Amino acid sequence: MLKLPVYLDNNATTPCDPRVVEAMIPYFTENFGNAASRNHPFGWAAEEAVDYAREQVAKLIGADPKEIIFTSGATEGDNLAIKGVYEMYASKGNHIITATTEHKAVLDTCKHIEKLGGEVTYLQVKRDGLIDLAELEAAIKPTTILISIMYGNNEIGVVQPVREISAIAKRHGVLFFTDGVQAVGKIPVDVIKDGIDLMAFTAHKMYGPKGIGALYVRRKNPRVKVTAQMDGGGHERGMRSGTLNVPGIVGFGKAAELARLEMDQDAKRLSGLRDKLESELLKLEEAYVNGNREHRLPHVTNISFKHVEGEGLLMGFNKNIALSSGSACTSASLEPSYVLKALGLGDDLAHSSLRFGLGRFTTEEQIDYTIEQVSKTVLKLREMSPLWEMYKEGIDLNSIEWAAH
């Protein structure tokens, strides 16, 4: 049975798994205590639940529970990691290296660091979205304190060579932070094997609730510290004050446990469906996958349909299929996706892209329906696209002097 509407925007957020919700409910009503209340059973119950969830979360990434700092989400984790390292290691240097395809939570934090007087190098990515390791190494200076490169990209799903990056960082005595939001819970992430010093991630991208995330901060080889960005009661080993969101943390823990146990089967099933979707849509003329197809998250594909505009395309089926586009029109900025532009795509192809993010609850019927709807709409819109007509007539679109507006 086909279930509508189809949700294929799992990179934006995922639904809560019912098993997660079930685990959370007692912590709103019966066990509502403050985990910092040390002298009564309400506090004990809350603290115990938090400790258990901290273990579940740590286990997912191969960390020690003491290395998990709960935050409100990955934006806070990104801020805490970058600003916190910048302040804590100020005596060592003020230079940070990142890449142009990072999430805004990283890029805008880096811009803030520049305003504070820090120096930031923004690495360009290659055509396939991967960074150039030689360029990374060449960008390191005596003042470099942090390399911040995301694990998996939110728009194109490309997975960076994290182990090679961390090896370079280690060789030069530089800390390595990764935004793990899209990767954790979807592919095996192991902070020891991957050589990660700090990592931000969040529950709502792995079937947990919104408003709860974590920052992994390494405690051994080396012992990493960040300066708190939120002052107060000294929670989370002094790195993040604020009463713990106990129900959220319990849900995060359950989501992490489910992700760890079901990751292999989910990834296998979803990459199969993703590949089907992709190969069927690539049967359309002038359709291209954006980003590296080998080093990629299993549930993501980003495709440009030349000479069709992304938002116009979405409108053909967005009552029944939830997707996102790199087109400017879907955002308030009127600029097309900066990630796709960083790959060297022309604005026209960036405007023509759709991002498909499959998830645990995506069914094969839904993928078949999506293939049919997207294909049909692309063909229909090409029939009314002047660019498609010109392309078919063999006119070089670059030879036309477009009136910039």
Partner 1 sequence: MAYSDKVIDHYQNPKNVGTLDKASKSVGTGLVGAPECGDVMRLQIEVDDETGVIRDAKFKTFGCGSAIASSSLATEWLKGKTVDQALAIDNMAIVEELNLPPVKIHCSVLAEDAIKAAINDYRVKNGMEQIKFEESIVH
Q: Is 285 in the site for partner 1 (CB under 8 A)?
A: no
How is 57-117 classified by DSSP, letter by letter?
A: HHHHTT--GGGEEEESSHHHHHHHHHHHHHHHTTTT--EEEEETTS-HHHHHHHHHHHHTT
Q: Is 387 in the site for partner 1 (CB under 8 A)?
A: yes
Is 58 part of any known ligand binding site?
A: no
Residue 126 DSSP symbol: P
Which CB, 56 or 385, lies closer to partner 1? 385
Q: Which segments of 188-293 does DSSP mark as H helices, in order?
A: 246-281
- The most distant pair of C-alpha atoms in the chain lies apart, rounded to whole Å, by 79
Is 74 part of any known ligand binding site?
A: yes
Q: Is 192 in the site for partner 1 (CB under 8 A)?
A: no
Cα–Cα distance, 264 to 185 (Å, whole number): 10
Q: Of 53, 285, 83, give the one whose Cα is nearest residue 177.
A: 83
Cα–Cα distance, 362 to 270 (Å, whole number): 8
Q: Is 216 in the site for partner 1 (CB under 8 A)?
A: no
The sign of the torsion formed by the CA atoms of 330, 304, 299, 343 equals negative
Which CB, 294 or 401, lies closer to partner 1? 401
Q: Is 194 in the site for partner 1 (CB under 8 A)?
A: no
Angle at 186 between CA 185 and CA 192, to 5 degrees: 60
Which CB, 322 or 397, lies closer to partner 1? 397
Cα–Cα distance, 29 to 277 (Å, whole number): 43
Cβ neighbour number for residue 323 with a 10 Å cutoff: 21
Count of residues in contact with partner 1, rule CB under 8 A:
31
Whose structure tokens read 């806070």?
Answer: 76
Q: Is 117 in the site for partner 1 (CB under 8 A)?
A: no
Q: Are strands 300-305 and 287-289 parallel, antiparallel or unpaired?
A: antiparallel
Site string for partner 1, 332-371 (x = CB under 8 A): x-x-x---------xxx--x--------------------
Which CB, 286 or 311, lies closer to partner 1? 311
Contact 160, 194 (CB under 8 A): no
Is 243 part of any known ligand binding site?
A: yes
Q: Is 399 in the site for partner 1 (CB under 8 A)?
A: no
Q: Is 388 in the site for partner 1 (CB under 8 A)?
A: yes
* 16 tagged catalytic: no
Among 18, 117, 142, 386, binds partner 1 (CB under 8 A): 386
Which CB, 29 or 399, lies closer to partner 1? 399
Which span (210-218, 238-246, 283-291, 312-320) binds partner 1, by CB under 8 A? 312-320
Is 14 part of any known ligand binding site?
A: no
Q: Is 324 in the site for partner 1 (CB under 8 A)?
A: no
Q: Is 385 in the site for partner 1 (CB under 8 A)?
A: yes
Catalytic residue among 329, 371, 379, 387: 329
Cα–Cα distance, 110 to 291 (Å, whole number): 24
Cα–Cα distance, 71 to 213 (Å, whole number): 5
Q: Is 396 in the site for partner 1 (CB under 8 A)?
A: no
Distance of CA 325 to the CA centre of its chain: 16
Q: Is 311 in the site for partner 1 (CB under 8 A)?
A: yes
Cα–Cα distance, 198 to 280 (Å, whole number): 39
Which span (43-51, 95-103, 266-274, 385-393) binds partner 1, by CB under 8 A? 385-393
Residues 6+ apart with CB under 8 A from 175: 85, 89, 145, 146, 147, 169, 197, 198, 222, 224
Q: Is 327 in the site for partner 1 (CB under 8 A)?
A: yes
Residues making up the annotated binding site for pyridoxal 5'-phosphate are 74-75, 154, 182, 202-204, 243
Q: Which residues bind partner 1 (CB under 8 A)?
A: 307-312, 315-316, 327-329, 332, 334, 336, 346-348, 351, 383-389, 397, 400, 402-405
| Residues marked as catalytic | 329
